[in-house]
Amino acid sequence: MKRIITFGTFDVLHIGHVRILQRAKQLGTHLTVGVSTDALNWSKKQKKTVYSQYDRLEIVKAISGVDQVFFENSLEEKGRYIVDYKADILVMGDDWAGRFDEFKSLCEVVYLPRTEGISTTQLLEEIRAIAS
């Protein structure tokens, strides 16, 4: 039994999101996902989400391989989430490479490569271009 934890906004779900969750799950047997609240997303990206935190939580929960979801309220509480959800491995996309090494005293920390050529921001720009 190996428990994985990962975090993200997961707004306007795309293939990069699905792949990171599936690759994270392959590292263990149980996957918990912390979905950033709307307020946290605003504080870290200064962006409004398209989908509410409730819809994003429900969508992520529906992805095969995801066993448990919760709201991530604060970046400062990552250590507490790792302990509370009994995570053996913290998985993050390599856009965060090195930034969570402080948690190596609590669990293994793995950065997975992002899927090239897609992001929610990019997708929204493409949708705007198509719609205009």
**The 108-112 sheet, strands edge to edge:** 68-72, 30-36, 3-8, 89-93, 108-112
For ligand CTP, the closer of residues 10 and 103 by Cβ is: 10
CB atoms within 10 A of CB 73: 14
For ligand CTP, the closer of residues 1 and 116 by Cβ is: 116
For ligand CTP, the closer of residues 8 and 30 by Cβ is: 8
Q: How far is the CB of 17 from ligand CTP (least distance, A)?
A: 5
Closest chain position to ligand CTP (CB)? 93
Q: How far is CA 127 from the centre of its chain?
A: 22
Q: How far is the CB of 72 from ligand CTP (least distance, A)?
A: 11
Q: How far is the CB of 2 from ligand CTP (least distance, A)?
A: 19
Q: Which residues bind ligand CTP (CB under 6 A)?
A: 8-10, 16-17, 20, 45, 92-93, 95, 114-115, 118-121
List CB contacts of 109: < 8 A, sequence separation 6 or more.
89, 90, 92, 100, 101, 103
For ligand CTP, the closer of residues 29 and 121 by Cβ is: 121
List CB contacts of 56: < 8 A, sequence separation 6 or more.
9, 10, 11, 35, 49
Q: How far is the CB of 105 from ligand CTP (least distance, A)?
A: 21
Catalytic sites, residue numbers: 45, 47
